[in-house]
Amino acid sequence: MGKHTRVYQHTGAALLRAAAAPLTALPSSWPDPHDTDAVSDWLRDVCRQRVFADAIRQASGDLAARLNDIVSGRPVHPRQIRRAYLATVSYVLRATGRPTPFGLFAGVAAAGIDRQPHVRWGDAHRAVIRADTEWLDDVCTRLESIPELLDRLSVILNSLAMPRGDRLHVQHGGPRGASVRRSRVVRLIEKHTTRPVRVTTLLAELDRVFPEADPTRARALIASLMAQKFLLTNLRAPMTETDPLGHLAGELKAIDADSVPSAAGILDGLLAVQEAFREHNTAPARDQHIAREAAVRNCRNVSAAARSPIAADLVLDADVRIPRSVVGQMERAADALLRLTRQPAGQGVWRDYHAAFWERYGTGTLVPVKDVIDPVAGLGYPAGYPGSRRLAARPVVSERDGRLLAVAWEAATAGSREIVLTEELVDRIAGAPAVSDAAPSSVEMCARVHARDLQALQDGHFTVTVTPARSAGTLTSRFTPVATGSGLEEVYRQVPPTIEGALTAQLSFPGLYAHIENVARIPAYLPRAISLGEHRPAGEKVEVIDVDDLAVTATANRLYLVSRSRRRVIDPQVFHAMALEKQPPLLARFLAHLTRAFGPAWTGFDWGPQAERLPFLPRVRYDKTILSPARWYLSADSLPPAKEDSGQWMDALTSWRKMWQCQGPVELRDDDRALRLMLDVPAHAAILREHLDRNGQAVLTETPPEDGFGWIGGRVHEVAVPMTSTRPPSPNPLTGRLPVQRNSTLGPLPAAPAAPWVNVQLYAHPDLHDELIAQDVATFAPRLQDHPDWWFIRYRTPHGADHIRLRVRAASAGQRSAHTEAIGTWAATLHNRGMISDLAFTTYTPEIGRYGSGRTLARAEAVFVADSYLAATALAGTTAPGAHGHALTAVGMVDIACGLLGDDEGLRRLAKRPVSAAAGRAATNQAIDLIRAGNPAARGWSAALADAWHHRGEALARYRELLEDGMDVDTVLESLLHMHHNRMRGVNRDDEKTCRRIARQTAIACLAWPEAHQ
């Protein structure tokens, strides 16, 4: 099973995440939800257990208050008792069955990787509390609204603010965000807040420029811009500051907020909260619950916002080491998941976006990020982003999906509830065993380890259930301040870049909603940060990469993020678990995805879209690793309606479970959340019923019984392990200095006075292109007024119709008008003849990244003109009888290489590039003979073609004289060869490879007999 080279290796660091209580702590009985007396007694028993009571009190003050009423015997309506019971059941199940850290329900500890397993589990778990970010956001908002404090604050323009026409937009508090009219005053504020500035200084500048304006209105405008997050104040800590409360208190002290009466009380309250947090975090574990209640009271003295004013991390009193054999299984599982990905070539929406970028901006240019995402002048965001005008293709069933379902069907017909993957079966499903070099440079794997006891684990009698996470740090990084000694910080600092020579930079940004920051506020692990929507403190050690310095560039295969000032590729790193699809600002999501979207997608095991609603899917195991547990899909329609008697509903559920063999404990999945249930228990079934009533469907997965966690004392857990790629980074695309291309410099619109070319798209079936070029374009263009230069390319888009793009030079407005009218008349004739279906006049955007700019571009366009005339002449049948199209195109490629670089260098460049394509011997021999014939006349060509050949050679020589310093000659040559094939043969990659193969063989022959090339 080891023929594949391992792609991922562990870093030596690991984090244990485990439920606060073992499965043995579960209540021995679960009363029927409708038995009010039994439920009340049960709730009293649960509330006596501190592990549950403290966790519930910290998570939900309202539920804690309701439980206090019930256990104290106060009158409570039976319906409210039932609701409190089911909520408490959920929390108890959460505290015993879900290892994801949350408050006091689950915690973390540094884990070790060793030769032998080891477990020590104590009971002195410690909570570390901090201010809840929603509570803190309310405090900051109140402080920012105090007029007397406003003048003392420092503000900066939100880097997420985007001008769009006459309005300024910012995304905050949801996808839509806010907008404001860009009046003269707002524009002046924009100009003077690109860097932090005191509000007093800003007000003085406004008063200087607009002396007649009312100062109170100016102050009100600034306050309004702050409230809508167009302006950010120094009170709000950047996301790499792990003590935002300390930051706030420090900033308030620095501006003497205690001298402002309405702010002094808040500052005093914050200082009291700080002290309460310190007392709690240093108190003995057994006394922390008392200190925690005091901290909550202090918080509530300042603000009543948020469900709970404190956030807590539970540090487990545990020393756990897992054997290397377990980590080895995780490494192999990571490789298998990558090979089995549904998107081996990257995400389809990003492939479409890359094509759109190439179409608009070309390759080899640097386009500022804000220009790219501009929804009007640029491309906007990719399909699937809120507000994107691009349509995402519907999910399709791939060949890989079909092969996987066939394997599942084979297992079902054999009566097996498990698919056991071998190397051969993985290759059969994936369709190709190779893994792309563009695989993510780091990933994270989470594993639940199942073994009866430590000896069984040591002896290799174990299984692991794995869950992948986006990248190193996703599940682990926010716990480095509390899980000391893990070594994780160094792992993040050493994360390798995806691209050779790229700079890794930590992406730092707030969430769209304040509460999200509880899971996304992490230390600065890297020396560089891309800061979005933040007010960074002066003098910090982190080197901040401004969003206005970032640009996007394209190669033939993908997009890259580049720092314009540094001339380096940037590889953004997201080290936290914020859900990138819905929780961050769109720009942060865009930057995080851009660098990873073009390699194989790293996800959990995916059955494909056609399997989503199948009632049962079998377990998928690879060696000792469960890549996907058995899964059941239950529709609410499969059971009686919610209004039916609970007994009848329970009987129907029992019948369904028997039919689909859904026995034992299961996990109810809800997005990334899971709740361990025993469905024969009415209280657990009631939770499932509520879920079905709310969502209409439920996904259940198998989970081991209690003894499956015996090695760790019956504790549901997972071990998170960061991994890095063993493969070298991908080649760097930056070759020389790339020109900057903006939306405003793309090229004049078709009717603009400065437009040097009339650019028309002739929509025609590709089978008619040769005739259209040879018989119509070649004869029409020379008849235009003053015989202008012209050139063409054939074009095909993923979702559009094939067409020919014809460019005709217009030296003046009058000539442009005349050309446009003549083209319209001519196109009408073509349409009547059935040669074209439509035409469109569009903007011509020169590809300055490929060919240069200014005079250099003009020389390149002269080559296009010459090559177009040559191709049209050749397509008109002016070559020798029997000339093979492949041979003629290959000879043209050889001539272009030699014309651009000189004979010897041109031949060497062609010869040194292997081409994986077959080429007919007859065509190859013919191409060699044509080159050896030398003089075009000796080749049997017409005088017109010989003349065209000569003129292209002259154009190439003139272009060569002006090739700019820093331009990549290889890129220029590749582009010219590609476009020559386009003009001669059309859009066909396989055909182009064949011609390139013949050209290479011809070049090799010429180098062997130098006298053959003249």
Q: What is the pLDDT of residue 890?
A: 94
pLDDT in tens, 568-609: 999 999 999 999 998 999 999 999 999 999 999 999 999 999
DSSP string, 186-247: HHHHHHHTSS-EEHHHHHHHHHHH-TTS-HHHHHHHHHHHHHTTSEEETTSPPTT-S-HHHH
Q: What is the pLDDT of residue 764?
A: 96
Average pLDDT over residues 858-865: 97
Q: What is the pLDDT of residue 1013?
A: 44
Q: What is the pLDDT of residue 150?
A: 95
Q: What is the pLDDT of residue 353?
A: 96
Query: Which residues have a Cβ under 8 Å from the Cβ of 828 and sit 6 or more positions away?
Result: none
pLDDT in tens, 809-834: 998 988 999 999 999 999 999 999 99
Distance CA(996)–CA(927), nearest Å, equals 12
Higher pLDDT, 923 or 765: 765
The candidate with the shortest Cα–Cα distance to 8, out of 722, 598, 732, is 722
Nearest 10 degrees: CA dihedral of 974, 979, 984, 989? 70
Count Cα neighbours of 43 within 13 Å in the Cβ-side half-sphere. 31
**CA-to-CA dists, residue 273 to 240, 286, 291, 312, 714, angstroms:** 21, 21, 11, 14, 37
Comparing 230-234, 463-467, 536-540, 543-547, the range with the smallest average pLDDT is: 536-540
Please give the structure tokens belonging to residue 100.
């994801």
Specify which residues 808 forms β-bridges with.
758, 790
Phi and psi torsions of 226, nearest 5°? -70, -45
Comparing 32-36, 526-530, 622-626, 881-885, the range with the smallest average pLDDT is: 881-885
Mean pLDDT of the chain: 93
Q: What is the pLDDT of residue 391?
A: 86
Residue with tokens 């195109």: 889
Q: What is the pLDDT of residue 420?
A: 97
Query: Which residues have a Cβ under 8 Å from the Cβ of 913 and sit 6 or more positions away?
Result: 996, 1000
Average pLDDT over residues 224-252: 97
pLDDT in tens, 252-275: 999 999 999 999 999 999 999 999
Q: Most confidently modeled of 453-457, 555-559, 885-889? A: 453-457
pLDDT tier, 175 (very low <50, low <70, confident <90, very high otherwise)? low
Average pLDDT over residues 77-90: 96
Distance CA(53)–CA(47), nearest Å, equals 5
Residue with tokens 């005008």: 389
Statement: residue 124 has pLDDT above 70? yes
pTM: 0.93
Residue with tokens 């182009």: 992
Is the Cβ–Cβ distance between 114 and 285 less than 8 Å?
no
Statement: residue 743 has pLDDT above 80? yes
Statement: residue 1 has pLDDT above 50? no
Average pLDDT over residues 660-671: 94
Q: What is the pLDDT of residue 93?
A: 98
Q: What is the pLDDT of residue 473?
A: 96
What is the DSSP pairing of strand 697-702 with strand 666-670? antiparallel
**CA-to-CA dists, residue 682 to 649, 653, 685, 970, angstroms:** 10, 11, 5, 71
As a whole-number percent, the residues of the chain with pLDDT over 70 amount to 97
Extract long-range pairs of 961-966: CB within 8 Å, 24+ residues apart.
961/859, 962/852, 962/855, 962/856, 962/859, 963/852, 963/856, 964/852, 964/853, 964/856, 965/736, 966/736, 966/737
What are the respective helix, strand and coil percentages of the chain, to the nearest 5?
A: 45, 20, 35
Statement: residue 1012 has pLDDT above 50? no
Provide the residue type at 215 as one letter. Answer: P
Q: What is the pLDDT of residue 1014?
A: 45
Statement: residue 487 has pLDDT above 60? yes
Statement: residue 939 has pLDDT above 80? no
Residue with tokens 């695989």: 439
Axis crossing angle, helix 682-695 with helix 646-660, rounded to the nearest 10 = 90
pLDDT in tens, 503-513: 999 999 999 99
Statement: residue 434 has pLDDT above 60? no
pLDDT in tens, 596-648: 999 999 999 999 999 999 999 999 999 999 999 999 999 999 999 867 788 89
Q: What is the pLDDT of residue 884?
A: 83
Distance CA(430)–CA(788), nearest Å, equals 54
As a whole-number percent, the residues of the chain with pLDDT over 90 amount to 84
